[in-house]
Structure 1
Amino acid sequence: MSAPQTPPPAGPGPGGNHDEPTVGGLVHDLTQQVPDLIRSELRLAQAEMTEKGKRAGLGIGMFSAAGLLAFFGLAAVITACIAALALVLPTWASALIVAAVLFAAAAGVGLAGKSKVSAATPVKPEKAMEGIKEDIDTVKGGHHRV
């Protein structure tokens, strides 16, 4: 007589281990879990950006308040200049002289700003565009520009 044969192990694999998932099962789980992961990451990013936005808004508000206080301080200095000149001249003449100085300063700053804006035009990034053209020529096998 021959020895009794044992039946082959049941299950998906040669070892008969039912705990190991199949590749198809893993892919299925992955396709269901990745969108959830992406959504949770987006919610986290949104919450983080909201918090940073609140902090930035508070900082911008504080800068605005500082600018307004500086404006009032400058107005007080201008008033002091008018009052100091009023000791020597009539008050209306002191105010007129200080106003003329302020208008002259405004004109100088305006002209300087206009020259800076003119130097920044045209707005298109000419150097970057030239570099892109060179890259395209190089990829096409063209000659290198000098």
Structure 2
Amino acid sequence: VGNDGQFAKFCAAVGLDDLPANPDFATNPARVANRVKLRERMIEALKIFDRDPLLAKLEAASVPASPINTIGQMFADPQTIARGMRLDLDDGHGNLLPSVRAPMVMSGTPLIYERPSPRLGEHTQEILAELEKSGQ
């Protein structure tokens, strides 16, 4: 939660009405200092909510919030689809890997996606050879 006002709105939305007036949680520094107690209270309060109704409740209370999505949920999201964010890039072995394009779009200099992100360790030998040549 970004500030004390948002914290108060969040607390009201999830039934933690006593927290904003409690000196242990009234300010951001106090919440940080008492984060273990705060976390326990929040976990207990949030257990009763399913994700989507909670997000709707927070949006109605003007509390910034968004879901943590799986990759599948992210690709199925209407905004992701509307913005054309999905790319399927060839991995060089005949497989298409679902990828996400950069969020900014520049009409004069469009980004070119030639390949997906490297696999773990894919360029290790080349990097080590370069470092050896440079004496590092």
TM-score (norm 1): 0.19
Q: Give the greater-gyration-radius structure (CA).
A: 1
Greater helix percent: which structure?
1
TM-score (norm 2): 0.19
Greater relative CO, 1 or 2 (CA 8 Å, sep 6+): 2
